[in-house]
Every structure is written in structure tokens, then in C-alpha cells.
Amino acid sequence: MEDIQELKPCWSRTDLDEIEQSRGYVTFSLTNGPEYHVSQIADAVVVARYLTATLVLPDIRGSKPGDVRNFEDIYDVDKFMKSLDGIVKVAKELPNEISIRDLAAVKVPNRVTEDHIVESVEPVFKSKGNIRLATYFPSVNMRKTAQKSSVDSVACLGMFGTFELQSEVLEVVDSMIERLRTLSRKSNGKFIAVDLRVEILENKNCHGSGSARAKSCYNAQEIALFLRKVGFDTDTTIYLTQSRWDNSLGVLRDIFPKTYTKESVMPDEKKGKFLESEDSEFEKVIDFHICSQSDVFVPAISGLFYANVAGKRIASGKPQILVPADIPATSAPITNYLSPYVAKRNHLAYSCFC
């Protein structure tokens, strides 16, 4: 399962007229982790572009009350602003004369359409002058559509052309990947990343889902058996998105001794800031980028993390995504379990990259 040539953006900045004037401000926050950030940014850029409004750099809000970070704590501000130059005006903060309390709250569905903006957002913006945007997710839908829209190029740019990690976070991710490759010498430096988080498995009905539909998540034992049956040997290195070791993972390590969590591969001097602060925001971002760059990605949990990691992998020429299944036989061809996003080329990323 080798990498393919990196795809090129299908969208063109030359198709987009430069914004000459700005009418009001669009503010928003990034919430719930990087898999949501990708979609929230894309929708905010689309809305601000359509309204010819200035987009205010978002803050980042964690799951706990009062857990607020600046955009630059995780992402590269200069890259973000430069990527949108001439497309959408970006301000680092609201002008002093505009109070946050005066902003009109507007909700938009993920992958907001031009029709929705015209009907539900533009009238509020014209009336109030400034809005605070929130994206909601009616479903996890990252499949491409047959319909072409005038906002497609802007959405592609927002989703795939604006984000880069700031230097310290990028350094931690790179050092962890390098450590995993060092531990994988017997497999030519290649490793598998598995999105498997015990607390989520405990909160979902992952067992006894019946044969009528695919399961939404798989536990450590099921993942271990799946990987063996599709042909991975016991020397394979596995990275789990689970932050700290849990006893329930022992069955996976019994079969694949080189199974690691963040605490095993993160540099010791970085653990105080990125692992031991009981702040999951950094951890989620690190997982997202390691899963995007691993040699194989296995989503043990379905959902938006899987969908947006798949998009990033497709864009960078890494289509090796295996969706687990209960395999009754002793072995099965690995190609049977390639993600439908890749096998059917039906991911939104294929609308943005050629």
C-alpha cells in the first residue's frame, strides 16, 4: 500500500474576484477538536466571502467551561491570513467600538450553501451589520455531490488551503512520527495509526450491532484480529489515539507488541505542556496530524474524525485507509476493506483535488 502522487488543487484562485470592500464582521469560534475546525473554517470563509464581510480570527474553545485558547496557540496565523489574501479580509480582532454583545448569533449547517446564506444569513447581516457564526452538523457527510456550486472553490480553499500547525506543535508531531518510524525499523519505518479511544468506546454501543448494518466502533481485541487477518505481522508498529495506556488495550499489545500511545512516544520535555496538563485540545490536534501522515490509518470509531482525516490523506496522496470489520474467515484480502471514500472516490476531497 504505497503512497500515490500528491494530488493538485482543482480550484483556482484566479476564478475568484478579489474583495475590494468590506461590510461588517463575521466572528466565530473553533470548537470540539481539529476534525470540527476544518469544517468550521470552511463554512466561515464561505459566508464571509459571500457577504463581503471581514472574517475575525477565531478563538479555540475546549470542552471544559472557560477553556479558551488563541488561534496562534495551535495554528499558524501568518499562513492562515496569507492563504485568504484577496479572497476574504481577515482581522485579528474586532474593532474596539464593536461590542461582542451586539453581534447577532447565526447558525449554519455544515457545508453551507449559497441558498441558505441568501435566505437565513444575509438578511440578519444586513439588519445587524455584524454576526457571530456557529456551524452545526446535521450529519457526518463528507461525500462529494454531483451538483456544482459557486461557493465550491472558496469551500475547498477554506478546508484544505488555510491550516498549518504553529511551529512548536508541528515540532512535537514531527518528533513523535520520527520516533514511531525509528521503532518500526523491521517494517521499513512504516507504522499504522488507529483511532481508538477507550472513553468513546465505553460511551457507544459498540457490541452486538447485528449483521444488518456496519458497526460504528471496534474495540482493541476486534482491531487486533482484523489487522492480523488482513495480513499485518506481529512486528507491525501501531500508534493509538488513546492518550494514556488502559488495561483494556492489553489484548492488542499481546498480538502486536509494538503498540504505543502518546505517553510512550512524546518527548519527555513536551509532556508537561502537551500531555500532562489535562487539556485534550493539543492531544486531539496531535492525533489528527499523526493519523493524517501515518502509512496506514484505521478508524476504529466512525464519525467526523475519520471523515476529515480521510480528506487530508486523500489530498496528500495517502489513500491507505482501512475500515475494520468482523472477518469470519482466518484471512481476507486487504483490498476488501479499503475505505469507500477512497475505493469509490466519493469523498469531498475528490471535488477539490485532481
Using one digit for the tens of pLDDT, what is the confidence trace for 244-288? Answer: 899 999 999 999 999 999 999 999 999 989 987 666 789 999 999
242-279 exposure pattern, b = at least 16 Cβ within 10 A, e = fewer: bbebbeebebbbebbebbbbbebbbeeebeeebbeeeb
341 within 8 A of 242, measured Cβ to Cβ:
no
Q: 136, 162, 188 — which closes off a domain? A: 162
29 located within any domain: yes
Same structural domain for residues 129 and 66?
A: yes
Domain count, the chain: 2
What pLDDT is attached to residue 66? Answer: 75
Query: Which grid coordinates belong to 214?
Result: 456496519
Same structural domain for residues 187 and 251?
A: yes
pLDDT digits (tens, 9 = 90+) for 69-103: 999 999 999 999 999 988 899 999 999 999 888 89
- Alpha helices (H) in 220-299, listed in sequence order: 220-229, 250-255, 262-265, 268-274, 280-293
What pLDDT is attached to residue 13? Answer: 64
pLDDT digits (tens, 9 = 90+) for 155-191: 999 999 998 999 999 999 999 999 999 999 888 899 9
Give the phi and the psi of residue 53 in degrees, each rounded to 5: -105, 160
Cβ neighbours, 10 Å, residue 183: 17
Same structural domain for residues 145 and 173?
A: no
pLDDT at 148 over 80: no
What pLDDT is attached to residue 132? Answer: 96
Region 37-55: what's the mean pLDDT? 94
Same structural domain for residues 81 and 214?
A: no
Same structural domain for residues 135 and 178?
A: no
Q: 162, 190, 214 — which closes off a domain? A: 162
Q: 118, 133, 162 — which closes off a domain? A: 162
Same structural domain for residues 157 and 277?
A: no
- Residue 138: pLDDT band (50, 70, 90) is confident
What pLDDT is attached to residue 17? Answer: 63
Question: What's the mean pLDDT when you consider all of the chain?
Answer: 89
Region 327-351: what's the mean pLDDT? 93
189 located within any domain: yes
Residue 279: partners with Cβ closer than 8 Å, 6 or more residues away: 62, 67
Domain range spanning residue 346?
A: 167-352
Name the more confident of 130 and 141. Answer: 130
- Of the ranges 69-78, 211-220, 225-234, which one carries the lowest mean pLDDT score? 211-220
Cβ neighbours, 10 Å, residue 332: 15
Region 200-224: what's the mean pLDDT? 71
pLDDT digits (tens, 9 = 90+) for 290-303: 999 999 999 999 99
61 located within any domain: yes
Name the more confident of 149 and 228. Answer: 228
- Residue 46: pLDDT band (50, 70, 90) is very high
What pLDDT is attached to residue 240? Answer: 97
Same structural domain for residues 157 and 290?
A: no
8 located within any domain: no
